[in-house]
Homo-oligomer: A and B are copies of this chain.
């Protein structure tokens, strides 16, 4: 296995893919590509004894991911005291095989494990929130009503290293049992992706409010 395919080595025993391990990737480029393809993660964190899965927006800066919420939110109280799992997944297609058993889906997914850190410094929080906003829409932070200090105060922020990461990716047509390829049912892939539709202006925008070019650049997937 070479560096190039990223199959060479899991960063830890607990991130080593066992099921369908030929789909595994551990290289930095694949990790970053998946993280940069969508702003949506699902964070696993034990609270009151239950492994809650919380859908949350995130952004990446270098070798860490960041997410935000309320300082009163239960997740930001719980996550410093346990290792969490930060999962990102993209559904790329439904794989229609000749046998039910070989049905599958095309996907890209990533699991990050580790101990998250809270960011408490207000200047740093504000700087990171700017990166969050401008990462979604370039230059947007500078166009907005300037942030109030009290808004930064009530915002909680966590970050996690991308060091302990595993990825899985499936692409391409179904893999059927060799003897089934002559079976006459239709096989193939139904591709799925995110679609970004034309922006809908708030009816309360003052007449003549122009839409910045950068709003149109928003994309994901």
Which residues of chain B are within 8 angstroms of A141 by Cβ–Cβ distance? 100
Minimum CB distance partner of A45 in chain B: B51
B209 A200 Cβ-Cβ under 8 A: no
* A137 interfacial contact with B, CB 8 Å: yes
Q: Inside 8 A of A209's CB, which chain B residues have their CB?
A: 184-187
* Interface residue? A37 (CB, 8 A): no
Which single residue of chain B is at the shortest CB-CB distance from A177? B145
Taking a contact as CB atoms under 8 Å apart, the answer to whether B185 and A144 are in contact is yes
Select A14's contact among B46, B48, B109, B205, beta carbons within 8 Å.
Answer: B48
Q: Does A42 contact B (CB under 8 A)?
A: yes
Q: Do the beta carbons of A202 and B190 come within 8 Å of each other?
A: no
CB-based contact A89/B42 at 8 Å: yes
Which one of B84, B99, B194, B196 lies within 8 Å of A147 (CB-CB)? B99
**Which residues of chain B have C-beta atoms less than 8 A from A204's C-beta?**
173, 181, 187
Q: A41: nearest residue on chain B (CB-CB)?
A: B53
- Contact pick for A85, options B52, B180, B195, CB 8 Å: B52
Interchain CB contact under 8 A, A205 and B186? yes
Sample 21 A-B pairs with CB under 8 A, ordered by A number: A18-B74, A19-B69, A42-B87, A44-B52, A50-B85, A50-B113, A52-B111, A96-B215, A97-B144, A100-B129, A100-B141, A186-B201, A188-B200, A189-B202, A190-B196, A190-B197, A190-B199, A190-B218, A191-B200, A192-B195, A192-B197
Contacts beyond the supplied A42-B53, A96-B199, A190-B200: 8 A-B pairs with Cβ under 8 Å: A52-B111, A55-B107, A55-B109, A91-B194, A101-B148, A184-B209, A188-B211, A190-B196
